[in-house]
Structures are given as structure tokens and as C-alpha cells.
Amino acid sequence: MREDYKENLIMAISIQEVSYKGGYKIEIMFSDGVNKVVDFESFLKNSKNPMTSKYLDKEKFKSYTLDYGDIIWNDYELCFPIWDLHEGRI
């Protein structure tokens, strides 16, 4: 894929909807029509940072919000690049 095309695509994609699926899984619906169920469990369990690993508490994990086309936790305390979520890589 041409690099300039990929960059424009990345900038244009946003998250339209999110839906909690249980455990540490969230279904993410992107503006380009792609739907992914992203499992955050291994990322959270492997984190050495207590600011991240605290989201192993499922109530905290489920407290995400959709803000300006991005999924965030606690005012950007935890967030991920949209393109990585789109590709299923975290």
C-alpha cells in the first residue's frame, strides 16, 4: 500500500461505536465499516505499569468512554492508537 494513502486512511478512521463483550473484550465499530473484537487481557496482564494494570479491575475496565472518535479510559489515562485497534494489535 502506498505510504501516503495509508497515512490518509489512518487519519480518516475513527471509532463509531463500542460494545463491551465480557472479560476484557470490546467490540469496536470503525468509520470505514470494519468491526473488530479486541481482547485487552494479555496487554493488561503483561503491563508492569500500575496505572495500566489497575484496569484488570473489570469495573474500571468497563468504565471506558467514546470521545471524539477514540476509546479512552479516565480522561486519556489509558488509550490506544486507533490504527492499532483497527488492525487488532495492542
**CATH number belonging to domain 3-87:** 3.30.2020.10
For the sheet with 65-67, list strands across it: 65-67, 70-73, 78-79
pLDDT given at position 2: 55
Beta-carbon contacts of 77 under 8 Å, excluding residues fewer than 6 positions away, are 51
Q: What is the pLDDT along the chain (90 residues), one digit of tens a residue?
A: 556 545 554 568 999 999 999 999 999 999 999 999 999 999 999 999 999 999 999 999 999 999 999 999 999 999 999 999 999 888
pTM, full prediction: 0.84
- Domain range summary for the chain, segments of one domain joined by +: 3-87
Question: Please, what is the end-to-end C-alpha distance for the chain in angstroms?
Answer: 22
Q: How many CB atoms lie within 10 A of CB 30?
A: 18
